[in-house]
Structure 1
Amino acid sequence: MIKRKALSISLKIAIGFLIILSSFVSGWSTTSEGDLPSKTAVILHAINNQLVVPDEQLTPPSFLTGSNSAGGVAFEQESLQIPVSDGSVLPGRMHKPVDAQDAPVIVYYHGGAFMEGYGNIDTHDNIARAIAYRSNAIVISVGYRLAPEHIFPKAVDDSYDALIWAYEQAEEFGGSQEKMIVAGDSAGGNLATVTAMKARNEGGPELQAQLLYYPLTTFHDRPLDTRDKYAEGGYLLSRTVMEKARDSYTPGEEMWENPYVSPLDEGVAEDLPPAFIATAEFDPLRDEGELYAHKLNEEEVPVEAIRYEGVMHGFLSFYEVLATGRHALDDSVEFLDRTLNDEQMMATGFRIIERAQPSGMERIREETEAHMAAVYLLGLHVQRQFQQWVETSMLAESEDE
C-alpha cells in the first residue's frame, strides 16, 4: 500500500512537472510575429537571455551540439595560408577527402556581418565541414579581412583573390578546376555571389554553381516586410547589428550603389552560375534573398530557392540539433550534384519552395529534445538565481560587520 501511494505521488509530481515545463516552452514559442517550433524557441531563449553564452554570436551553445560523422569517408583538415594581391596572407581552412581525385572545390565565405567579432572561419567551421562530408568535395574556408579596420572593397578583393588561389591550387589538392563552386551564409552569401560576378566580369575561373544561405543582397533602405517584422532582435539578427554592419563595412552611401555591395539592386545577373538560395521564415533577410532569386530567374540564371519554415537567421549553424538545418544542407548538396551532372534542375520551373517543418517521428524527436534542453535551461536559471542570492547575502553580511 505504501509503495503504491509513493508511486502515485511520484507520478503526480512527474505529470505536474511536465505540465509546468510545457507551459514554459509554450511561452517561449509564442511571439508577436507567430508561433515558433519548440526547438527553435528553446535555442533562441537560451541565447537571447544569455542562459548559454556562445563564444561567438552564431556558435551553437555547447549543450546542444552533437557529433558529426563523415559517413564512412575519411576526411582530413588542414590550416591554410592564402596569399592575396596586396601582399597580405589570409588564414584559411580546408576539409577534403583523404584520397580526393578530381573532386569539386567549394570556396566558402563565412557569415558575420562583415565585422570583427561576429564571425570567422572558426565560428562557421561546422558548416564548411558538413558541406564537405555531404558532398565529398574539397571545401576551403576563407578568412577575409573584416570591418571596421578593412572597409569595402577589401572583403570582396580578398574573396576573389582566394578564389583565384584555390583555382590555381585545385589539382594539387586533388580537386578539379572544372568544378569550382562558391558558397556562403549571410554576409558570406553576399560575398559568394559578388565573387561570382567579379569572376564573370574579369574573366576569372568559370564557376559551376553558387550556394547562398540566407544571403544579404542589398544595402539600400528598401521597404522589405521581413526587415521590419523580424529585425527587433529576437531572431539572431537585429536592426542594430545590420545598421552597425552597414556603417562599418560601407561608411560611404555611394558604396551602396556598387553591384559588389548590393547585387539585388545594382548587379547584372546574366551569365552567373546556377544558384541555390536558402531563406528562413523568421529572418530579416528573407525578402531580399527571395527577391534575388527572382532576379536571377528573370535574367535566365537557373535557380532553386527554398524557404525553410520554423527557423531563424543563422539556422544552418545549428544543424547538429535542428533537423531543418540538416535538410538545408542536404538540399543544397543535391542541387550541386544535379548541377555538376548537367541534370535538369527544376522540372516544374522557377518557384519559391516552402520546406515545411519536420513531421512524424522526426517531429517527435525534435519536441523531446526541446523539452530536455528546456530542463537544462531552467536548471541554469535556478542555479544563477541561487548564486545571486548567496552573493547578495554575503555582501549584506560584510556591510553589517
Structure 2
Amino acid sequence: MLLLEEGTIAMWKKGVKTAVILILCFAVITVWSVEKWSQTVQGDLPSKTAVILHAINHNLVSLDTNITVPDFLTPDRSKEDGVTMERHDTTITTGGKNTEIPVRVYSYSDTENAPVIVYYHGGAFLKGYGSLDTHENVIRSLAARTGAVVISPAYRVAPEYEYPAAVKDSYNTLQWARRHAEQYGGNPDKIAVAGDSAGGNLAAVTAMKARDENGPDLFAQLLFYPLTTFRDVNFDSRTTYDSGYFLLSRQVMQKAREAYTPKQRMWDNPYTSPLHAQNVSNLPPAYIVTSEFDPLRDEGEKYGRKLHEAGIPVQTTRYQGAMHGFVSFFQIMKRGDHALAQSAAFLERASSGTIEDPDTYTVSKYDGPSGLTWLQNEAEALAIGAFLVGKSVYDRVMNK
C-alpha cells in the first residue's frame, strides 16, 4: 500500500514537472513568435500591431472577427458603460425618385440640441470592402464619446455605381441630417463630417461641396487616414507600404480607381482628389489621423498642409506603429482608442469654437502607450499571440 502511494506521488510529481516544462516551452515559443512577427522589411512593429496583422494576413481570423483576450487583461475601453443609446435604421431618397439608400442613426432618447456627426464608412469605394456593419463599432463609439447624434449612410459603391454616385449620396445625407436632426435630438446648426479611408475622402469632399453649394455650415471635419488623390503621385508611403500586409494594397487601390473613377479626367476633379483642389479656403477646422505603416499616410498629411496654407485650422497626428484601419481595432489597440479619444476632444473644442490655429504646420507623432499601460499592452499582445500559436497548432493537427 505504501509503495502504491509513493508510486502515485511520484507519478503526480512527474506529471506536474512535465506540465510546467510544456507551459514554459509554450511561453518561450509565444514570445519568440511575437518577436518574429514584429520584424518586417518595412520596420519593426509594436507587439499588438504585429499579432493583429499576423492573425489577419495568415487567415487565423478574418477582418470581421472580434479578436479578444481574457477579460482581466482588457478592461472596457469603449466608454459606453451607462450610456443609453438607440439605433434607428431608415432610408433616404438620393440620386433620383426611385433611388434610396440605407441610413443608420445613433441618438439618445433624453438628449436635445446635441451636435451631429455625419460619418462615412471606409471600404475603397468597392462593394464587399466596407459597410455600416463593419464600421458599427467606430460609429457607436464616436456617438458614446461625444454625446452627438451620429448619422451614417450606406452610400452607393463601385463597380455598379461609379463617381459621382457616392459623392451625391454623401452630400444628400448631410442635407437630410440638417432637415431631420431635431427629430433625433440633434442641433441642425451644429454638424460635422467624419470618415475613414474612402470615407475620409468623402468627408473632405462633402465639406467642400457644402461650401460650394451653400449647404450646411459645418463646425469640423474628422478624417481618419483619408485617400486624398486618385492621381499617380509618387508618395513614399504608397510605395513602401503597398504590399497589402498593412491592410491596404496597391492592387486594391488600383481596383478602386478603375471601378470608381474609370475615366482619367475624373482623377483631377476636386470632388475625387481634394488634394489637388484649387480652392480649399473657407472649410471647417480639420483633425487628420494618419498611421505610420499606411500607403495613404503621406497624402493625408499633405492635405493637412494644404488646408493650413489656406488658413484652415488643422491638427494632424501620425500614429507610429499603426497600420491602415487601426482605429477600427480600438477595442484591443490602445493607439486606436487614443485616436478616438483625441478625435472626441477635438470635436468638443471645435463645437465650442476653441480650436487653436498654429502659425506653422506640424505633424505630431504618437508613439504609443507608456509605463503601466505599456506593460498591459504587452501582456495583451502576448495573450493574443498565445491564442494564435495554439490555434495554429490545433489547426495543423486537425487537418492532418
TM-score, normalization by structure 1? 0.92
Distance in 1, Cα, partners of 2:205 & 2:267: 13
Preserved CA contact (<8 Å) 1:127 1:317? yes
Does 2:25 match 1:25?
A: no
More deviation in 339-348 or 206-215? Answer: 339-348
CA deviation profile, 1:244-291 (whole Å, cap 9, x unmatched): 000010000110010001100135210000000000010000000000
Distance in 1, Cα, partners of 2:212 & 2:272: 15
1:374 to partner: Cα distance = 1.5
1:2-401 to 2 correspondences below 5 Å: 10-54=19-63, 59-63=64-68, 68-87=78-97, 88-345=99-356, 350-389=361-400
Compute the RMSD of aligned alpha carbons. Answer: 1.8
CA deviation profile, 1:93-146 (whole Å, cap 9, x unmatched): 111122120000100000000000000111111110000000000001110000
Distance in 2, Cα, partners of 1:106 & 1:64: 31
Q: What amino acid maps onto 1:189 in structure 2?
A: G
Distance in 2, Cα, partners of 1:344 & 1:187: 26
1:344 to partner: Cα distance = 3.7
More deviation in 253-262 or 337-346? Answer: 337-346
Change (3 A) 1:267 1:361: farther
Distance in 2, Cα, partners of 1:266 & 1:69: 38
Preserved CA contact (<8 Å) 2:313 2:355? no
Distance in 2, Cα, partners of 1:195 & 1:330: 24
1:5 to partner: Cα distance = 6.8
TM-score, normalization by structure 2? 0.92
What SS does the corresponding residue of 2:239 show, helix, strand or coil? Answer: helix
Distance in 2, Cα, partners of 1:144 & 1:175: 22
Distance in 1, Cα, partners of 2:264 & 2:360: 37
CA deviation profile, 1:122-171 (whole Å, cap 9, x unmatched): 11111100000000000011100000000001100110011000101111
Preserved CA contact (<8 Å) 1:335 1:345? no
Preserved CA contact (<8 Å) 2:200 2:226? yes
Distance in 2, Cα, partners of 1:148 & 1:85: 17
CA deviation profile, 1:180-204 (whole Å, cap 9, x unmatched): 1000000000000100000000100
What SS does the corresponding residue of 1:223 show, helix, strand or coil? Answer: coil
1:346 to partner: Cα distance = 5.2
Change (3 A) 1:252 1:290: same
**Number of aligned residue pairs:** 385
More deviation in 86-95 or 140-149? Answer: 86-95
1:15 to partner: Cα distance = 2.8
CA deviation profile, 1:363-385 (whole Å, cap 9, x unmatched): 11111111111122122212221
More deviation in 86-95 or 346-355? Answer: 346-355
Preserved CA contact (<8 Å) 2:241 2:293? yes
